[in-house]
Structure 1
Amino acid sequence: MPKGRRLKIDNIQTCCDESPFNSKVMAETIDLTGDGGVLKTVVRKAKDDAISPSDSLPLVDVHYEGTLAENGEVFDTTHEDNSIFSFEVGQGAVIKAWDIALRTMKVGEIAKITCRPEYAYGSPGSPPEIPANATLIFEVELLACKPRKGSSLGSVSDEKARLEELKKQRELAAATKEEEKKKREEAKAAAAARVQAKLDAKKGKGKGKGK
C-alpha cells in the first residue's frame, strides 16, 4: 500500500478529527480468520442492496487511514490529499488482512480492521513507518467495485443501464407482437364478416326469385 506522512492522534479507536471515520459507537467485532488475526468492526453499514467485491468485480476504490495499535500513530492515509487508493482484491497487491476483509465489505461501508503482524507486514515490518511485528488498525471505506479493464461489462452502472435498455427492448417487442396479433385478429374478423355478408346477400336474392 502507498505510504503517507505520519500524524499523531490521541485515540486509536478513531482517526484524526477531520476523518469521516470518527465514530463513538462501535458494532460487534467479527473474527474473519478464526485465529484473531484479522478483526473487523463495522463503523457504518452499507445499504442492503449494495454490491461487494467478487470475481467479476475485483477492482476496488477505497479511502483509508492506518494507525499503529501500539501508540495510535497514523502511518498512512488517503485523507491528507483526498486521494483514492485502487487495487485488485485477491491478487496479493495489498497485505493479507485487506484481501480477506475487503471481500466481506459492501460499497458504502466503513469498517475498522485490526490485523496482527502475520496478516500485515510480519517480522520485517515496512520501515520507517511500520516497525517489525506491528499490529495495525485500518479504517477503510469501500467506495466502488468494478470489473477488470477490458471487461465487456464496462462498469456496474453501465451493466445496469444495459440491462434496463434490454428490458425496455423486450417490453417494446412484446407490445409490438401483441399489437400485430390484435391486427391479425381484427383482419380475420373483418374477412369473416365480409364472407358472411356475401352469404346473406345471396340468400336474400334467392328468396326474391322464389316469390
Structure 2
Amino acid sequence: MVSDSNMDLINLTKDGNVTKRILREGAGVSSEKGNSVCVHYESFLQETNTKFDSTRDRKAEFTFNLNSGKVVEAWEIAIPTMKVGEKAEIFCTSDYGYGDEGRTHIVPRKANLRFEVELLGFWENATSAAERIASAEKKKLEGNQLFKTGLTEEALFAYRKARDYIKDLWNCEPEELEASRILIVTIQLNIAACYLKLKNYEFTIEVCKRALDRDCTNIKGYYRLAQAYLELGEFDQCIEFTKLGLEVSFKNQKSISLKQI
C-alpha cells in the first residue's frame, strides 16, 4: 500500500490490500450488514493523488445499502468498521476498487485508490409498527449519545431518522399509536435542541410547535421556543411562551399534588 506513514494504518483484510487510517474518531455503534448508510466522501488516485469524485463538491450526501453491490468492495469491508461521526482514509489496491478495467475516462486500469469517508449515519429496515417504534427508540438513544459527545450534526441525523420511522405511523394498535405519539414528541424536541446548538432558530421554532401540537403540556417545548425567540430578539414572543410554560408547569404540579392526596 502507498502511504506517508504505515504506523497508524489498520489492516482490514488478510492480504493487507485494504487498510484504514482514522482521521477523526466517531461515537456510538457501527452499521451492520443490510443497513442503509449515508456518507460524505472524496475519491483519489493513490499514485498521483488526483481527486476524481467528491460528494462535498456536489454538495450532496451519498446513501446506499451495505452488501448491495453498489460500491467498491473496499467500502463494503471498511465502512462497517466505522462509527457514526468517524472520518477515515481508506486505501485499497485495484482488486478491491475498480479492478483491471477501471472506469472509463475516470479511473485508469489497475489503479490503487484512496478515499476520505465520513460516516454521517445509518439505519435499518423496519416494517411492522412494533419494529418501527423499536427502531425509532434505538435511533433516538443513538442521537442522545452523539449529542452528549458534541457531535450535534450527527445527532440531528440520528433524530431525523428516528422520526422518519414513525412520523406517518397510523395503521396500528391504539397502544402503539400512543407510544408513537409520545416518542415523536420527545424526538422533535431533541431535534429542536440540535437546532438551538446549530443556531438555526427558525427550524427550532418549527419543530417545537409541531411537538406542542401533539402534546400541549410539554414544558420543554415552551422552554425551547422561548430560547429560540430570545436568540432572535423577538422578546414579546419569548415572554409569551415563557408564561405559557410556567402555566403548564403550575398545572402539572397541581395535578400531581391532587393525585397524592
TM-score normalized by the length of structure 1: 0.60
**Equivalent residues in 2 for 1:156-167 (5 A)?**
156-157=139-140, 158=162
Distance (whole Å) between structure 2 residues aligned to residue 146 and residue 53 of structure 1: 8
Distance (whole Å) between structure 2 residues aligned to residue 28 and residue 75 of structure 1: 25
What are the superposed Cα offsets for residues 151-187 of structure 1, whole Å, 9 maximum, x if unpaired?
733652339996995xxxxxxxxxxxxxxxxx9xxxx
Per the alignment, residue 106 of structure 2 pairs with 129
Distance (whole Å) between structure 2 residues aligned to residue 82 and residue 27 of structure 1: 33
Distance (whole Å) between structure 2 residues aligned to residue 25 and residue 137 of structure 1: 14
* Percent of pairs with identical residues: 35
1:36 aligns with 2:16: yes
What are the superposed Cα offsets for residues 87-140 of structure 1, whole Å, 9 maximum, x if unpaired?
011221111000000010010000000010000011010111100000000000
| Change in CA separation of 1:74 and 1:149 when aligned onto 2, cut-off 3 Å | farther
Q: 1:45 aligns with which of 25, 28, 31?
A: 25
| Change in CA separation of 1:25 and 1:108 when aligned onto 2, cut-off 3 Å | farther
Distance (whole Å) between structure 1 residues aligned to residue 6 and residue 94 of structure 2: 23
Offset of residue 51 of structure 1 = 2.0
Distance (whole Å) between structure 2 residues aligned to residue 150 and residue 36 of structure 1: 39
Equivalent pair of 1:27/1:43 in contact (CA under 8 Å):
no
One-letter amino acid of the structure 1 residue matched with residue 29 of structure 2: I
Structure 2 unaligned residues grouped into runs of 5+:
141-161, 167-178, 184-259
Per the alignment, residue 77 of structure 2 pairs with 100
Distance (whole Å) between structure 2 residues aligned to residue 85 and residue 105 of structure 1: 16
Aligned-CA RMSD value: 3.5
| Change in CA separation of 1:145 and 1:31 when aligned onto 2, cut-off 3 Å | same
Per the alignment, residue 87 of structure 2 pairs with 110
Secondary structure at 1:90's aligned position in 2? coil
Distance (whole Å) between structure 2 residues aligned to residue 112 and residue 26 of structure 1: 12
1:139 aligns with 2:119: no
Q: After the TM superposition, which parts of structure 1 deviate over 3 Å for at least 4 consecutive aligned residues?
A: 24-27, 149-152, 159-165
Equivalent pair of 1:26/1:43 in contact (CA under 8 Å):
no
TM-score normalized by the length of structure 2: 0.49
Per the alignment, residue 4 of structure 1 pairs with none
One-letter amino acid of the structure 1 residue matched with residue 82 of structure 2: M
Distance (whole Å) between structure 2 residues aligned to residue 109 and residue 27 of structure 1: 19
| Change in CA separation of 1:106 and 1:99 when aligned onto 2, cut-off 3 Å | same
Offset of residue 52 of structure 1 = 1.1
Offset of residue 81 of structure 1 = 2.4
Per the alignment, residue 73 of structure 1 pairs with 50
One-letter amino acid of the structure 1 residue matched with residue 32 of structure 2: S
Distance (whole Å) between structure 1 residues aligned to residue 104 and residue 114 of structure 2: 17
Secondary structure at 2:22's aligned position in 1? strand
Secondary structure at 1:40's aligned position in 2? strand
| Change in CA separation of 1:149 and 1:78 when aligned onto 2, cut-off 3 Å | farther
Equivalent pair of 1:68/1:134 in contact (CA under 8 Å):
yes
| Greater C-alpha radius of gyration | 1
One-letter amino acid of the structure 2 residue matched with residue 135 of structure 1: N
One-letter amino acid of the structure 1 residue matched with residue 12 of structure 2: L
- Greater relative contact order (CA < 8 Å, ≥ 6 in sequence): 1
Distance (whole Å) between structure 1 residues aligned to residue 51 and residue 62 of structure 2: 17
Offset of residue 27 of structure 1 = 7.2
